[in-house]
Amino acid sequence: MVIETNTKKSPSLLDAILPVLFLMILLVSFAIVYEDESTPNQVALIFAAAFASFMGIKNGYSWKEMEQGMIETIKVSMQAILILLTVGSLIGSWIISGTVPSMIYYGVQIMSPDYFYITSCIVCAMLGLSIGSSWTVAGTLGIGLIGIATVLDVSLAITAGAIISGAYFGDKLSPLSETTNLAAAVTRTDLFNHIQHMLWTTVPAILVSLSIFLFLGLTNKSNIVISDILILQDQLKNNFKISPVMLIPLLALFYMARKKVPALLTLLIGTFLGCLFAITFQMEMIFEKQETTDLNAVALIFRELMNALFIGFESSTGNQAYDDLISKGGMVNMMSVVGLVITAMAFGGAMSKAGLLERLIRAPLSRVKSTGGLIATTVGTCIGTNAIASDQYLSIVLPGQMLIEPYKERKIKAVNLSRTLEDSGTLTSALFPWNTCGAYMAGTLGISTLTYAPFAFFNYLCPVIAIIYGVVKFAVPTDEKKSESLEPQS
């Protein structure tokens, strides 16, 4: 064992860069060849993982060690994978139960196309702040908002950007958020000092984002007419029992999230409630979907529920707009996203095991000469880790552990590091298609990551503002300055 360890060499910067360059070439090539079609990014990621593994072998690692590194990292994503599959079932159950149709029915009555984007952002922000989970916001309220956007004929890409901006604002500032607690813990910063300090970047970013969403809404040219909305509402009422009672599963899910019931258990209970409400309230619709069948009533109900959970709810009324609106969900429709997460984590695992990721993070530190440079390096490191390791938790933990000493050496308070980890690590995770967060948002909302990313204004304004503050040395307290409100509590 000792002999094998001694034969391992530290990777060079070129070693670390080559697998990333190889991945970028593949991704760009796929984007060019496939144009507007879905690109096989999973293939690019698995080949890039193999490339990184060969670099590790070159430096003395065995294939078995590299493979084990990939497997161990994939294990980290298993909770996310289970959540993705469960969200697919949740969506299917909430459609067949009438929960999503009721959300859409009532939503189009109270929301105006002119103020739809800004309203979507605000309600998602409020919900995210109360429950501390951007994933839960997108997987529940976000689904309904996308449906309402479809009916109102407003941009689905901008709507997704507004949902994600609001969800991440609430997640970032909520003391219930896992990433907020993680960033504070990694940097050994008091949680509420950390949240307080994040207001410096978060408030300007959300105000600018809301202003843009308001402008986009007021200049939006929706082609929908009242009669079209009424037709879709009538179709919803003809096919489902629409009632405020149908929103109980949504409220129950929010309550469980607020009480910090584990995410997977919360989603499973939400799915069960959807099935229960379908049996209780939507029996007429279930039987109408099967005009001729040899199955008895119990078998028919069971099959329709399982189909909704596994392949998603399928509508075939002949009204294309309505069918496209309602035909969603199912585990099957999440499988490509699951594959993306697994292959992305395999690439991140190979890069980490071979020491290539650490080498990439360490490289820019040698050139840092100023406070602005250090904060910019933190932002770049977190974004790079999100792109390479494909996980927002790793984008907080790895840079946080490696950069805490440089912050101490320059007498820059740790609260600046914790804030920057969130500004760049937490927020940019949803902007990469192969990151667990980007994959989840795309799979849940049905809008590709690269399509909504330009409109997730809040998510990239925060890191930009963080860099600006670092350069001008604004709201970046140091140990030489007396700033009691920002002192971590002992």
> Which DSSP letter does residue 424 get?
I
- Asked, for residue 10, whether it belongs to a domain, the answer is yes
Q: What is the pTM of this model?
A: 0.79
Q: Which of 299, 333, 367 is the last residue of a domain?
A: 333
Same-domain pairing of 327 and 348: no
Spatial distance between the Cα atoms of 136 and 114, rounded to a whole number of angstroms: 26
Residue reference for tokens 């600018």: 208
Q: How confident is residue 483, by pLDDT bands cut at 50, 70 and 90?
A: very low
pLDDT of res. 324: 81
Same-domain pairing of 260 and 290: yes
- Asked, for residue 68, whether it belongs to a domain, the answer is no
Q: How confident is residue 482, by pLDDT bands cut at 50, 70 and 90?
A: very low
Q: Per-residue pLDDT tens for 134-160?
A: 988 898 889 899 999 988 889 999 999
* Sign of the Cα pseudo-torsion (306, 310, 313, 315, in order): negative
Same-domain pairing of 30 and 152: no
Residue reference for tokens 């100023």: 370
Checking if the pLDDT of 296 tops 50, the result is: yes
Whole-angstrom Cα Rg for the chain: 24
Checking if the pLDDT of 13 tops 80, the result is: yes
Please, which residues have CB within 8 angstroms of residue 262's CB and are 6 or more apart in sequence?
none
Give 187 or 318, the one with higher predicted confidence. 187
From the list 121, 117, 116, 113, the residue with the least C-alpha distance to 165 is 121
| 412 backbone dihedrals φ, ψ, rounded to 5° | -100, 125
- Asked, for residue 72, whether it belongs to a domain, the answer is no
Distance of CA 142 to the CA centre of its chain: 12
Look up the domain containing 185 and give its range: 79-333
Same-domain pairing of 127 and 255: yes
- Asked, for residue 69, whether it belongs to a domain, the answer is no
| 29 backbone dihedrals φ, ψ, rounded to 5° | -60, -45
Spatial distance between the Cα atoms of 473 and 469, rounded to a whole number of angstroms: 5
Q: How far is CA 285 from CA 92, 237, 301, 304, 321, in A?
A: 14, 11, 11, 11, 19
pLDDT of res. 166: 96
Same-domain pairing of 22 and 116: no
Spatial distance between the Cα atoms of 408 and 77, rounded to a whole number of angstroms: 32
Q: Per-residue pLDDT tens for 20-76?
A: 899 889 888 887 887 666 678 889 889 999 999 999 999 999 999 999 999 998 887
Q: What does the mean pLDDT of the chain come to?
A: 86
Q: Which of 280, 310, 333 is the last residue of a domain?
A: 333
pLDDT of res. 484: 37
Average pLDDT, integer, range 282-298: 73
- Asked, for residue 74, whether it belongs to a domain, the answer is no
> How many domains does one find in the chain?
2
Please, which residues have CB within 8 angstroms of residue 217's CB and are 6 or more apart in sequence?
113, 114, 115, 116, 117, 118, 154
**Which residues lie across from 478 on neighbouring strands?**
412
The SS3 of residue 412 is strand
Checking if the pLDDT of 486 tops 60, the result is: no
Checking if the pLDDT of 197 tops 90, the result is: yes
pLDDT of res. 79: 81
Same-domain pairing of 347 and 395: yes
Same-domain pairing of 186 and 285: yes
Spatial distance between the Cα atoms of 164 and 145, rounded to a whole number of angstroms: 11
Q: Which two tokens stand for residue 180?
A: 């907020």
* Sign of the Cα pseudo-torsion (454, 460, 465, 467, in order): negative
User: For residues 125 and 210, is the Cβ–Cβ distance under 8 A?
Assistant: no
pLDDT of res. 36: 60
pLDDT of res. 263: 79
- Asked, for residue 303, whether it belongs to a domain, the answer is yes
Same-domain pairing of 212 and 87: yes
pLDDT of res. 107: 83
Q: Which of 269, 301, 333 is the last residue of a domain?
A: 333
Same-domain pairing of 305 and 393: no
- Asked, for residue 486, whether it belongs to a domain, the answer is no
Percent of the chain with pLDDT over 90: 42
Same-domain pairing of 285 and 325: yes
Same-domain pairing of 170 and 292: yes
User: For residues 440 and 84, is the Cβ–Cβ distance under 8 A?
Assistant: yes
Checking if the pLDDT of 177 tops 90, the result is: no
Report the length, in residues, of the chain.
Answer: 490
Checking if the pLDDT of 290 tops 70, the result is: no
Checking if the pLDDT of 201 tops 50, the result is: yes
From the list 470, 450, 395, 489, the residue with the least C-alpha distance to 201 is 470
Q: How confident is residue 294, by pLDDT bands cut at 50, 70 and 90?
A: low
Checking if the pLDDT of 450 tops 60, the result is: yes
Same-domain pairing of 57 and 83: no
From the list 202, 250, 189, 128, the residue with the least C-alpha distance to 458 is 202
Q: Per-residue pLDDT tens for 324-378?
A: 888 888 999 888 888 888 888 888 889 889 999 888 877 777 778 888 999 999 9
pLDDT of res. 225: 60
**Which residues lie across from 412 on neighbouring strands?**
478
Q: What is the largest CA-CA distance in the chain?
A: 80
Q: Which two tokens stand for residue 358?
A: 């650490």
- Asked, for residue 487, whether it belongs to a domain, the answer is no
Q: How confident is residue 392, by pLDDT bands cut at 50, 70 and 90?
A: confident
